[in-house]
Structure 1
């Protein structure tokens, strides 16, 4: 069993094998994600009832909540990928982390924007310095910081290592976001889906929310695979270009071996 698992891991760690598998999976992932999101939107707007307190504005949650979950989940993926780079030197770990960071920033930004739109009718303001809101904003800046750090360094190996270290340090923010509503007095309500004892919201709201969450996860997975493929191709082109420059500098014809 252990040998089989090691063989599978070794096969998946091969960038060429990854390119082949991802090319097969991407059309299916994209189609299934689109179907889930379309069905979730139908349930959200035509099946889910308005909330007795929030009215129709509650339907913002079907975009806001999956985005917020992904904002945290993607950062966890970045941290795991960073750990894989620093500890195991996994060939695709840095590719995964680099590809995930911009997507995590996008979903975090979407969570902040939809949260502001939801908060205006509920709290009377687009923004308050609530513990949950503030910690998610810091997460957004952390994503931006990871992108800025990587782009500021010409040495890709050094950039990969430093961003991985920063990503692992930043993981302490995730439990702060998760438990901020229990640790401090905030305007956000406690968890109503991912909680001990099961969800506390009605099935008419829960089902569309979970369908949208699955659709968002599948959409992210497809976009992540596409971004990883682009990064692998970029690195291959860069390696070929450097090889050609090196041959040219040595006075060898293109395609010749040194």
Structure 2
């Protein structure tokens, strides 16, 4: 068997996943904190002020990475849910459901920082702009997935029902992405591109990429930690969990 395929099969084992998550969660958080510190320092003290928005533009270094993560996490949650529904892989159910509260947090940060940024730019804390409204709907979808998962006692049935909601909800992602282009919007158009051609000055981009990397590592650490906790709850009563609780290998 191919080593990579064999590793994926091993990862589906609850004890193996527990060891994997326990090993890598601290490293993901450490990398996130280092990158977060560097990104904030570069963004707040090194990057020059914007010629139009002045220093208020610096909230971009939190708002944009959080906004990208709010979409990425929902897409990943739907992906895990689809695999779980088709192949009945329990680990994918666990990972999908672990995504929901983390994605909701990123979405809430996106909405909060967007409102703070919008006050000096638009003169109001909130406007029913297409981008803002669809992002708010995304938050409700995240909360709906988490609520549905918590409302059903059977963990596997709960994960399948909530996963189906996330798969249906993934249709919202392209609407959020292109809402600025499809409708009249106060929200500015795309100025940053992963594939080049960004409209931002190069001196302002380094802090942004550091913050983007920081959010990715923070998400990875949070996903592993939450999935490990859910995995242990599902496996209560198994010998390997009892040995773990007793401090035995």
TM-score (norm 1): 0.88
Shift of 1:197: 5.1
Q: Which residue of 2 aligns with 1:122?
A: 121
Contact 2:81 2:167 in 1 (8 A): yes
Q: Which residue of 2 aligns with 1:225?
A: 224
Contact 2:130 2:180 in 1 (8 A): yes
The one-character-per-residue Cα deviations of 1:63-86 (angstroms, maximum 9, x if unpaired) are 111110111111011101101110
Shift of 1:32: 1.1
Q: Which residue of 1 aligns with 2:150?
A: 151
Contact 2:29 2:218 in 1 (8 A): yes
Contact 1:30 1:222 in 2 (8 A): yes
Q: Which residue of 2 aligns with 1:247?
A: none
Q: Which residue of 1 aligns with 2:133?
A: 134
Rounded to whole Å, the distance in 2 between the matches of 1:203 and 1:15 is: 45
Contact 2:97 2:163 in 1 (8 A): no
Rounded to whole Å, the distance in 2 between the matches of 1:195 and 1:151 is: 36
Cα 1:135/1:52, change in 2 over 3 Å: same
Shift of 1:24: 1.7
TM-score (norm 2): 0.92
Runs of 5+ consecutive residues of structure 2 not aligned to the other structure: 239-249
Shift of 1:196: 6.1
The one-character-per-residue Cα deviations of 1:135-174 (angstroms, maximum 9, x if unpaired) are 0000000011111112222222221111111110000000
- The structure number with the bigger radius of gyration is 1
Q: Which runs of 4+ in 1 moved over 4 A?
A: none
Shift of 1:52: 1.1
Contact 1:15 1:91 in 2 (8 A): no
Contact 1:71 1:105 in 2 (8 A): yes
Shift of 1:12: 1.6
Runs of 5+ consecutive residues of structure 1 not aligned to the other structure: 241-258
Q: Which residue of 2 aligns with 1:255?
A: none
Rounded to whole Å, the distance in 2 between the matches of 1:227 and 1:196 is: 32
Question: In the alignment, does 2:51 pair up with 1:52?
Answer: yes
Contact 1:135 1:177 in 2 (8 A): yes
Contact 1:62 1:209 in 2 (8 A): yes
How many residues align? The count is 239
Rounded to whole Å, the distance in 1 between the matches of 2:160 and 2:33 is: 35
Partner of 2:31: helix, strand, or coil?
Answer: helix
The one-character-per-residue Cα deviations of 1:208-256 (angstroms, maximum 9, x if unpaired) are 011011011111111111111111111122x55xxxxxxxxxxxxxxxx
Q: Which residue of 2 aligns with 1:194?
A: 193
Rounded to whole Å, the distance in 1 between the matches of 2:201 and 2:87 is: 44
